[in-house]
Amino acid sequence: MSDFLNGLTLEKDIVNSLKNNKVINLTRPYLEFGIRKYKEKNNIQDKDIFTYVGSCLYIHLENGDIIGFETNNVKDSILVWFAYKDGIQQGSNEDMEKIPYDHSKYGNRERWTGLINEHIHSIKVFTRKTPEGIKSFVDSNEKAILLESTNCSLLLPYGGSFEYRTVMPILKLEEAPDGYFDGMQVIEL
């Protein structure tokens, strides 16, 4: 993704879309080569591939919006964008093959049942500001995003020590490693 994308704290339209529409699907880009290479380096079960492989997630909403989340090492943040707005594609790379959360081989349907067909009622961004980041971009150092429905939480952390080496796993709040949030500030949106 390009460096001109913003962190979630600067994207009020995306926050509103996430809060005002039910989540109908979660997907990640599907790259068979990447999955195969990841499995060679990690002793990971197939059903955990969706959770751990990749640095990008798409949240599909009932109104036709698809929100993209991706890590960015220039801003040292998770950046967001409308991949689709009101069902209309917004970027040229958004039509690549995707793997859904409930993929028969690489997904885990039960893991995200509490989020699908639910509204997100709480959005929190966790930041760990650095002097360099503040000088460069106002939305730098947005290190984790927490989305909560009534029955489920979805945590998108950028970096950290997880069960498998990864850039941006898709976890539940209770799966965050001990101390992950130490030194972070919370911004509620």
Q: Please tell me which residue, 96 or 79, carries the higher pLDDT value.
A: 79
Model confidence at 114: pLDDT above 50: yes
Residue 49 lies in a domain: yes
CA 171 to chain centre: 9
Q: Is residue 94 part of a domain?
A: yes
Residues 6+ apart with CB under 8 A from 144: 78, 125, 126, 155, 156, 157, 158, 180, 181, 184
pLDDT of residue 94: 67
Number of structural domains found in the chain: 1
Q: Which two tokens stand for residue 105?
A: 């081989």
For residue 79, is it within any domain?
yes
pLDDT band at 85 (very low <50, low <70, confident <90, very high): very high
Is 1 inside a domain boundary? no
pLDDT of res. 3: 44
- Condensed to tens digits (0 to 9), the pLDDT of residues 149-168 reads 999 999 999 977 788 888 89
In a domain, 108, yes or no: yes
- Domain hosting 159: range is 6-188
Prediction pTM value: 0.93
